[in-house]
């Protein structure tokens, strides 16, 4: 295969990954890493490094719009970034020394968990019975605009959400994915934040978390410009197309199809990791 053909196939694959990730909320990394490792037989550490760079690009592009709209809770995001970046550095340091087949098996298990959790209904109910003294002291409670005016909300169980975010950061640094499923557990289920706020705040945080991990991979030589350039361009274009398609697409059916594909890729990753092919 020529370099041009490889680049074009990678660009098309990244475009598909970005579009599916945007439509389903699972992120493009869950497709990019299996694509590079299973199809092109790229070392999983280089695949993870490439996915991290793509995460930085997509997060930087989309987070700015949500911040401008006033939905993102910047104060909460910056507080939780302490947890995610700490975890991301730990995860990245572990990943560069951990056997690649073990990383592949963990990656497959997390993919299956993410696919299952993506089916869970996302409620946008606002819970205002303020039960967190820490949230008051840190001024983490906030509001977001709606067509009917601003809606205020309170943040609950700050400590529990913080430690879950640290674990999400470790998985992000270890596997090169956004760990959206774990962030959902932290912000939606534990901290009881409205879905719109948790989604946009998580998106705001992903780039910083990925950057912390990417530094470790860069120092170890696992960032390849030849892989990163087409992937970043493809994922950005796919995410933009997915956001426009999301308005009229049947997201439920897309989630079913995408989750089946992700489950298949996860099984392949686990099998190849178990047999030592990765």
Enter the pTM of the model.
0.80
Residue 48 has pLDDT above 60, yes or no: yes
Cβ neighbours around 151 below 10 Å, total = 16
221-234 residue pLDDT tens: 999 998 999 999 99
DSSP 191: S
Three-class SS of 76-128:
HHHHHHHHHHHHHHHHHHHHHHCCHHHHHHHHHHHHHHHHHHCCCCCCCCCCC
- As a whole number, mean pLDDT of residues 189-194 equals 85
Query: Quick one: pLDDT at residue 96?
Result: 83
Write out the residue range of the structural domain in which residue 102 sits: 3-274
The phi, psi pair for 6, rounded to 5°, reads -60, -45
Q: Round the average pLDDT of the chain to a whole number and report it.
A: 82
Classify residue 250 as exposed, middle or buried by CB count within 10 Å of its CB (0-12, 13-18, 19+).
exposed
Residue 79 has pLDDT above 90, yes or no: yes
How far is Cα 14 from Cα 27, in angstroms, rounded to an integer? 11
**Based on the structure, what is the number of domains in the chain?**
1
Residue 36 has pLDDT above 70, yes or no: yes
Cβ neighbours around 119 below 10 Å, total = 10
């Amino acid at each position: 295969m020529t370099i041009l053909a490889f680049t074009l196939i990678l660009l098309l694959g990244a475009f598909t990954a970005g579009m599916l990730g945007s439509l389903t909320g699972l992120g493009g990394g869950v497709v990019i890493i299996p694509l590079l490792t299973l199809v092109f037989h790229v070392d999983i550490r280089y695949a993870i490094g490439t996915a991290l760079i793509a995460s930085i690009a997509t997060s930087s592009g989309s987070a700015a719009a949500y911040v401008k709209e006033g939905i993102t809770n910047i104060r909460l995001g910056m507080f939780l970034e302490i947890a995610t970046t700490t975890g991301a550095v730990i995860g990245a340091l572990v990943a560069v020394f951990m056997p690649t087949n073990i990383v592949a098996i963990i990656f497959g298990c997390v993919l299956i968990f993410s696919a299952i959790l993506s089916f869970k209904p996302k409620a946008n109910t606002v819970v205002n019975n303020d039960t967190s003294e820490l949230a008051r002291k840190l001024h983490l409670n906030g509001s977001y605009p709606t067509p009917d005016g601003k809606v205020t909300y309170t943040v609950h169980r700050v400590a529990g959400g913080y430690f879950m975010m640290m674990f999400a950061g470790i998985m992000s640094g270890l596997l090169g994915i956004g760990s959206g499923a774990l962030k959902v557990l932290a912000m939606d289920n534990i901290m009881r934040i409205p879905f719109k706020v948790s989604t946009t705040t998580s998106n705001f945080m992903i780039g910083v978390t990925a950057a912390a991990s990417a530094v470790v991979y860069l120092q170890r030589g696992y960032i390849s410009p030849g892989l990163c350039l087409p992937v970043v361009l493809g994922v950005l274009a796919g995410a933009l197309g997915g956001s426009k398609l999301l308005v009229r697409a049947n997201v439920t059916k897309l989630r079913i199809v995408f989750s089946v594909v992700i489950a298949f890729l996860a099984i392949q990753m686990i099998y190849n990791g178990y047999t030592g092919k990765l």
